[in-house]
Structure 1
Amino acid sequence: MKPTRAGTTENISVSMPAELISELRSRTGRRGLSGYITEAVRHQLAMDGLADIVASHEEAHGALTEQEVEDARRELFGEESARTSGMDAA
């Protein structure tokens, strides 16, 4: 196992469609593949955690309003993102 900023690493084997692996390698090169996948998994875990928070909130307080969603977007991504997101919904 190699040390990383988050501790040690472990080799695993995952199966993916060949065309997906080919596209990943064309974007990252062979050496960047692990880092790219690691960041993608970190991102997905964060999104899963956010979905858990939203589900828990909605269970306790009902569905989020459009204003609450807009406020959360602004808090997370800034004013411009909230404005752009609002245009997509129209």
Structure 2
Amino acid sequence: MTIPEDLLDEIRADAAERGLSAYVTEALRCKRDRDRLAELVDWLQEEHGPVTEDEHAAALAELDELDAEHERRRTTGKRNAGEAA
């Protein structure tokens, strides 16, 4: 396997604490999960037809809400961890 050197340097910097192997393993799992999700979406569209614009907009809005909640928990967790120290 060959990885461009500039990309590898960035990944090594991002993965410093947990290590390159753990970073790559997580990335491969994410890719596999996305591929499986794409297969599910294709199957659902074959079974039930394409997603409407309204359904798409509603799904994106829900994802935005989830992202905001994850960010809130992440920043609250960091703040709480700092207070415990």
TM-score by length of structure 2 reads 0.61
Percent identity of the aligned residues? 38
d(CA) in 2 for partners of 1:67, 1:52: 22
Residue in 1 that maps onto 2:34: 47
In the TM superposition, residue 69 of structure 1 has moved relative to its aligned partner by 2.9
Q: Does 1:34 align with 2:21?
A: yes
For the aligned residue pairs, the C-alpha RMSD in angstroms reads 2.6
CA-to-partner distance for each residue in 1:25-64, whole Å, 9 max, x for gaps?
1222386101111111111111111110110011122211
Relative to its length, the structure with more strand (as a share) is 1
Unaligned runs of 5+ in 2: 68-85
Unaligned runs of 5+ in 1: 1-13, 82-90
- Provide the secondary structure at the position in 2 that maps to 1:15: coil
TM-score by length of structure 1 reads 0.58
C-alpha change, 1:19 and 1:30, in structure 2 (3 Å) is farther
